[in-house]
Structure 1
């Protein structure tokens, strides 16, 4: 059925913007994970971007270089601030990179992320962009800058909500009313609340990416600013004024708005709004097609900004790929490989791990990949980076081997060797979720490596040799998850191949633990660029 669909064209993945290479210091720090301190990114870095032109609106469609641009989309709300790291903190750079690499491997051309919605009340969330009303935290932009820069290097576009209807950990529109003694509904009518939100918009849009040296408003990677996630009290006038503000600051970028269920009437009738975003739990072909037709009839671009991933089937997505009214379908939601092994856990019933851990989830992934291929007319890229053996834990003479997966791998085979030359499979192909596995033979001095399967050719990790009586930790990841008291660490810029050095970025989350409990073991393993 897919072959019968009329393809549209997605941006040429070979196009590159001048500024051709990531600096070795940044490449090292990016690929091993951890948090780059603001000082390390004070000067603009050279960066490679595949996004050389802005996506534009042509009536009810989007175009890129004069060709229709339709999106296979994913949601990754946590790219700026993450609740899935044993608490609320910035995500590791590995997680951001792996999620965006995974999206690219799935043929996703746009990612929607709540990373700009980071607000708080009276320093309730000191890690937020705006910890308290009118107070801004420059360090909070480090992961955001990286996500934008890395997405550009893959040719992925971003759709970025600016606030949220809901009081989640990353904040929402009540953070612009509660500090002023106002009710939540006053967000749309009270002059002080409106002014506070407009100021926040101005701060965000005026940001210059510390990695690329490009202002956010000048970066084609940012396809559109969404006024907020699932806002329920919007009026036509309120939308119109925010659209006018954003377009005065970012004339080359688009503006989106939408509600929680179906099409927002205010968004439908707001002048100069580019994109109307609707959400579905679950979607149906008829409902999406009907909503899309209404939006197109109003002269705007339609996207399904969220749909529950369990509904991702060929029966749903292929007819919508053939429907030109539907500019984009964004599944909820994508999570990457975990830093130490397995997948990042997130149990909301809508989590997507590639390539899927069950027959059902694999079918969902296959349908999403097929939808992207139907829009682009081509299968996604399938080159694989090596996996990484992260630990060998030895107990009672038996080794347990953990590894970190790599984006796009369809499975893994763990191999052992006692001479470093002859390698023997100790597992059949398994999912990343199988990490760690047990080697019941565990001869002294055994080395282990992991084959990542799939793609144009499998890739092999660097081998790691088990120590005689102790565990071995391979740790270029710089993640607080690796420490017994979850001490936070950060990574200074360094030459490629040098051993990372950890230092606390702020006090440990469990005061009173000894400094020795925070000791980290690092490898001089050179990450691949």
Structure 2
């Protein structure tokens, strides 16, 4: 998920039982588990297509921690709800860097001195173990371009001693993105990041006793959430090669530790490269699949207080963005996942009582494109909506997150709580999601993995 949304304009069959599905512990005809892999523009589990019907749940490790900020009973309830919906994939954070940035979540996976937070790492272990128990998979993001989990700016601060806060009036956009992009060419900062990559990718799960590298519940390692080469055209040009070198080097590092799992970038697509489709293609040369994130309100495609008037034009822009990235995926012969897409509640309300008529339309637009690609054997292999709020409710009348709050939502701490996430009481939204899940296996000649 990107910056403050107001500031940026710009059913398995019998044949499937021959596979070891993620999280299954029973015997199989193969002696080894099957990992999700890429074959051209398809994702496969064993020899069967793997279609992603997923959600974002960045806070899973925090709930999983056996610590005062954790809530394992709630995590289990939320995972049960998502499994009952039929979802098979969750995108979660496997990193957060504590530091001085104003809006960063605390605690982090690494503390301000760079040392590891054992309790949060064990929370990740618990979350991944429980995801695997339910036959689901996860994408593990290894850092963040944005400030809400510390991210690359915090790693730079640990090396340089200076930093910029996102939305600081003294440093208006694109100062934050331009400053953060300096990370890629800073060897000391990159090494701090790589140290965390090595620690997590090379980790043995303290709950299951299984190395992450051998765990079929992991779908892919993701370099970071929404890495941009800069905000201004000048910064993008300056940092382009360092950005590409960082991607290639990190992908090689991960594969050297874990040859079993896919590697993904986590990029928004052309919106994160100021429209440069060639840079998007180049950025995905050394990873396994293309990602696209779509945020109509953030990007000025719709207006929150006039969704009825602005949605028709916004819908066309969404369709064009999907078409652009479907064409890019075809060009580079890799799968495409729409791994983040979010939309406000009607009248931009935040509480669960606010209706979701336009969000329903938006989700159907995304899901229609995914289902069309499934029918046509196209490159779009699935999607992850942003995000799952579940049973959490805002703790304060102003819907703002405050340090010490424990009702984690899909809306990260710098945003209004309830802005984009789906609550467990959102019956109409859950119906839209269920209808999409029901299409996951339609038209397949091969067994359909869970």
Q: TM-score, normalised by structure 1?
A: 0.56
| Residue 120 of structure 1 pairs with residue 92 of structure 2 | no
| Residue 184 of structure 1 pairs with residue 180 of structure 2 | yes
TM alignment of 1:209-358, pairs within 5 A: 209-233=205-229, 235-260=243-268, 262=270, 265=277, 266-270=279-283, 271-282=285-296, 284-309=318-343, 310=359, 311-323=361-373, 324-338=378-392, 347-356=417-426
Residues 216-242 of structure 1: per-residue CA shift (max 9 Å, x gap): 111111111111111112722221111
TM alignment of 1:374-393, pairs within 5 A: 374-377=439-442
Say whether the 8 Å CA contact 2:226–2:266 is kept in structure 1. Answer: yes
Tell me how far apart the structure 1 counterparts of residues 191 and 290 of structure 2 sit (CA, whole Å). 24
C-alpha distance 184-15 of structure 1, shift in aligned 2 (>3 A): closer
How far is 1:108 from its partner? Answer: 1.0
Which residue, out of 434, 437, 444, partners 1:369?
Answer: 434
C-alpha distance 11-293 of structure 1, shift in aligned 2 (>3 A): farther
Tell me how far apart the structure 2 counterparts of residues 108 and 66 of structure 1 sit (CA, whole Å). 20
How far is 1:8 from its partner? Answer: 11
Tell me how far apart the structure 1 counterparts of residues 22 and 293 of structure 2 sit (CA, whole Å). 33
The structure where helix makes up a greater share of residues is 2
The higher radius of gyration belongs to 1
Tell me how far apart the structure 2 counterparts of residues 344 and 258 of structure 1 sit (CA, whole Å). 22
Which residue, out of 137, 146, 170, partners 1:157?
Answer: 137
C-alpha distance 262-103 of structure 1, shift in aligned 2 (>3 A): farther
Q: Which residue of 2 aligns with 1:414?
A: none
Give 5+ residue unaligned stretches, structure 2. Answer: 1-10, 27-31, 163-178, 230-239, 297-314, 344-358, 394-406, 412-416, 444-450
How far is 1:155 from its partner? Answer: 0.9
Compute the RMSD of aligned alpha carbons.
3.3
Which residue, out of 134, 144, 165, partners 2:114?
Answer: 134
Tell me how far apart the structure 2 counterparts of residues 302 and 198 of structure 1 sit (CA, whole Å). 26
Q: TM-score, normalised by structure 2?
A: 0.66
Give 5+ residue unaligned stretches, structure 1. Answer: 1-6, 21-50, 83-87, 357-361, 379-529
Tell me how far apart the structure 2 counterparts of residues 315 and 196 of structure 1 sit (CA, whole Å). 40
How far is 1:126 from its partner? Answer: 6.9
Tell me how far apart the structure 2 counterparts of residues 288 and 91 of structure 1 sit (CA, whole Å). 37
Tell me how far apart the structure 2 counterparts of residues 15 and 184 of structure 1 sit (CA, whole Å). 39
Alignment: residue pair count: 329
C-alpha distance 178-219 of structure 1, shift in aligned 2 (>3 A): same
What secondary structure is seen at the aligned counterpart in 2 of 1:128? coil
How far is 1:376 from its partner? Answer: 2.7
